[in-house]
Amino acid sequence: MSVATRHLIIATCGLGMLLLGGCAGKPVAPPQAPLYERLGGEETLVALSLQVSRDDRLAEMVNRRGERFFRMRLHDHLCIAASGPCEPVGTETFQREFALGETEARTLRRVMADELERLEVQSPEAQELLRVSGLPN
């Protein structure tokens, strides 16, 4: 092998390493787990739905269709919003199904925020769940 050929091979390898090194310089963040998992999964959503359904501020809303039905539908709504392994039941949104006005929807969101805090759900996940729930601030 001639000296010129060796120099060409070394230069080509060096350029290749430089290019590959430049691409590898920015680490790729690992994919984030779905919100459902980061919240604590089924256990957290069941506890949240149960506690919310028992809050006196929501008694009138809960009693429209019964506590059990309210709890199940709230759980399903939050599970779907959090990308959990839940299947939608019907096409109505939770807010329309319970005929929630703006004030009631805001109250429900406040109650959920209070219960998420009581359940010691981490703040970023709690805030994300409130955001994806579709309930107004």
pLDDT recorded at residue 92: 66
pLDDT of 48 = 97
Predicted confidence (pLDDT) at residue 14 exceeds the cutoff of 60: no
Q: Report pLDDT for 8.
A: 44
Q: Cα separation of 137 and 110, whole Å?
A: 8
Residue 99 confidence (pLDDT) = 85
Assess whether pLDDT exceeds 60 at residue 7.
no
DSSP 25: T
In angstroms, the CA 85 to CA 35 distance is 11
Question: Of residues 22 and 97, which shows the higher confidence score?
Answer: 97
Percentages helix, strand, coil for the chain, rounded to the nearest 5?
65, 0, 35
101-129: burial string, b at 16+ Cβ within 10 Å, e else: eeebbebbbbbbbebbeeeebeeebbebb
Residue extents of the structural domains in the chain: 35-132
Give pLDDT, residue 29: 64
- What is the tens place of the pLDDT at every residue in 86-103? 877 655 678 888 888 899
Predicted confidence (pLDDT) per residue in 27-57, tens digit = 666 678 899 999 999 999 999 999 999 999 9
pLDDT at 20 over 60: no
Give percent of the chain with pLDDT exceeding 70: 74
At the top level of CATH, which class does the domain 35-132 belong to?
mainly alpha
**Predicted local confidence at residue 126, as pLDDT:** 95
